Amino acid sequence: MWWRSPSFILDKQQSDTVPHQRNPRDTLPLPSPPPFSMADTLQNPNPENNISAYYQTRAAHHAVVTGDWLAQAQAAIGRDPDDSTDTTVATVAGKPFSVIDEFNSWRKQPELAEAVAAIRALAAVIRNCQATTMMELEIELKKSSDSLKSGDTTSISLTAGCDLFMRYVTRTSALEYEDFDSAKSRLIERAEKFGEISCKARRIIAMLSQDFIFDGCTILVHGFSRVVFEVLKTAAQSKKLFRVFCTEGRPDRSGLRLSNELAKLDVPVKLLIDSAVAYTMDEVDMVFVGADGVVESGGIINMMGTFQIALVAHSMNKPVYVAAESYKFARLYPLDQKDMVPALCPIDFGVPIPSKVEVETSARDYTPPQYLTLLFTDLGVLTPSVVSDELIQLYL
């Protein structure tokens, strides 16, 4: 069931200025079925320190405090005046292009999602590829995608973003009938368009969610999510009156960052220890969480503690809203908490722990769809049951 679509909100705001557009579903990215398998990746990619690349990336980012559908979105939200992102590819004379180096250069931007950095890097692969046929170009693109995914097998959004990019960019029958230069130009155009869509996803989600945030409400958030922060920031800038309860967000305590950022916006905020969720739930009107990945069942994989918050909210009839970009839609179907790629992280208890004591170091958990109310995505506001339909549209 579709509650609201991007075109519904945008057309309502721009009925006098934006000409009639085609169905936004015509431009949805349609990637190829990924080779990703849970069984193939149930292993720690960093055996030396037992810390997953997922957690290292997350910790690095949190340490920093700080077309037709596309045409509609650009017209509605405009270009961010602070967005000075340079989409050109820096090349060094005599140095061969490396997709890993390009990916790492994009990752240095703390507000850029890992999946978007991968999408930008793959777009650079097309521009710099020396292939002379479409087959060679697709093989090179596939190799680059596989190398990015193998660098961090614990990142769900990275894998899903690469697979969606591959499907979206290469899905055009016109490439079979054009000369190579024209076909390559078409691929570059589609790659850049997909990158633009991905970069603007957060702001579109923030716009779609505003009808659900009302004056006087209390919102519980868990840890730090860039897209959830964008939702709350947009509401604050719209002069809505609300308050936020932030969990501490152990083990990385990322909720501290969110509370600090909200305080800068003069939003009333209260910081909670994670175990105080049930104690304060009767004061909460809604729960907003982000997601590391949205799976085929309509459930989400997110930072540790999301599942128990959803359980408490469900038992007390509080809505649980998820804000997640469409490039996080993954072809995974976990059956329980252990049926997913492990993402391990260090935990500081403040006191020495005896070696005989086993410590749970997983950084995320799985929340089944029955405990979620709605998912806010750049494809629209979806119920969990619709996610499987959207995945079919994206991946087939």
How far, in Å, are 4, 231, 299 from residue 9 at the CA level? 7, 15, 25
Average pLDDT over residues 350-363: 80
User: Does 163 or 81 have the greater pLDDT score?
Assistant: 163
pLDDT at 395: 66
DSSP for 20-35?
P---GGGG---PPPP-
The token duo for 363 is 């950084």
Does 123 share its domain with 258? no
Residue 326 located in a structural domain: yes
Does 315 share its domain with 277? yes
pLDDT at 202: 87
pLDDT at 14: 44
Q: Is the pLDDT of residue 225 over 50?
A: yes
pLDDT confidence tier of residue 55, bands split at 50, 70 and 90? very low
Average pLDDT over residues 294-319: 92
The number of residues in the chain equals: 396
Name residue 231's amino acid: V
Q: Is the pLDDT of residue 60 over 60?
A: no
* 351 C-beta neighbours (distance < 10 Å), count: 5
User: Does 175 or 14 have the greater pLDDT score?
Assistant: 175
Does 223 share its domain with 367? yes
Residue 207 located in a structural domain: no
Range with top average pLDDT, 30-44, 138-152, 183-197: 138-152
Q: Is the pLDDT of residue 110 over 60?
A: yes
d(CA 384, CA 382): 6
Average pLDDT over residues 85-99: 53
Query: For position 352, which CATH number holds?
Result: 3.40.50.10470
Q: 26-30, 148-152, 161-165: lowest mean pLDDT where?
A: 26-30
Q: 39-43, 103-107, 124-128, 277-281: lowest mean pLDDT where?
A: 39-43
pLDDT at 323: 93
Q: Is the pLDDT of residue 246 over 60?
A: yes
Percent of the chain with pLDDT over 70: 73
CB half-sphere exposure, 30, CA atoms < 13 A = 11
Residue 206 located in a structural domain: no
The token duo for 142 is 């596939």
Does 80 share its domain with 123? yes
Residue 28 located in a structural domain: yes
Does 166 share its domain with 20? yes
| Crossing angle for the helix pair 6-14 and 180-209, to the nearest 10 degrees | 80
Q: Is the pLDDT of residue 31 over 60?
A: no
Percent of the chain with pLDDT over 90: 25
Q: Is the pLDDT of residue 100 over 70?
A: yes
Mean pLDDT of the chain: 75
Does 77 share its domain with 120? yes
Residue 226 located in a structural domain: yes
How far, in Å, are 75, 141, 324, 373 from residue 198 at the CA level? 16, 19, 11, 24
Domain boundary among 145, 175, 201: 201
Domain boundary among 173, 201, 229: 201
Does 180 share its domain with 220? no
Does 306 share its domain with 367? yes
How far, in Å, are 71, 286, 337 from residue 314 at the CA level? 38, 10, 18
Give CA angle at 240 (234, 242), nearest 5°: 100
Average pLDDT over residues 109-113: 77
Does 218 share its domain with 86? no
pLDDT at 23: 44
DSSP for 234-292?
HHHHTT--EEEEEE--TTTTTHHHHHHHHHHTT--EEEE-GGGHHHHGGG-SEEEE--S
Q: Is the pLDDT of residue 99 over 50?
A: yes
CA–chain centroid gap for 112, Å, is: 10
Q: Is the pLDDT of residue 138 over 50?
A: yes
The total number of structural domains that make up the chain: 2
Look up the domain containing 151 and give its range: 2-201
Residue 192 located in a structural domain: yes
Does 338 share its domain with 226? yes
Report pTM: 0.69
pLDDT in tens, 380-396: 888 998 887 877 776 66
Average pLDDT over residues 93-104: 76
Does 125 share its domain with 41? yes
Average pLDDT over residues 256-280: 91
Residue 208 located in a structural domain: no
Check: CB of residue 263 under 8 Å from CB of residue 254. Answer: no
Domain boundary among 150, 173, 201: 201
Does 182 share its domain with 239? no
pLDDT at 75: 54
User: Does 233 or 353 have the greater pLDDT score?
Assistant: 233
Please classify residue 280 by burial: count the beta carbons closer than 10 Å to its beta carbon, then call 0-12 exposed, 13-18 middle and 19+ buried: middle
Residue 345 located in a structural domain: yes
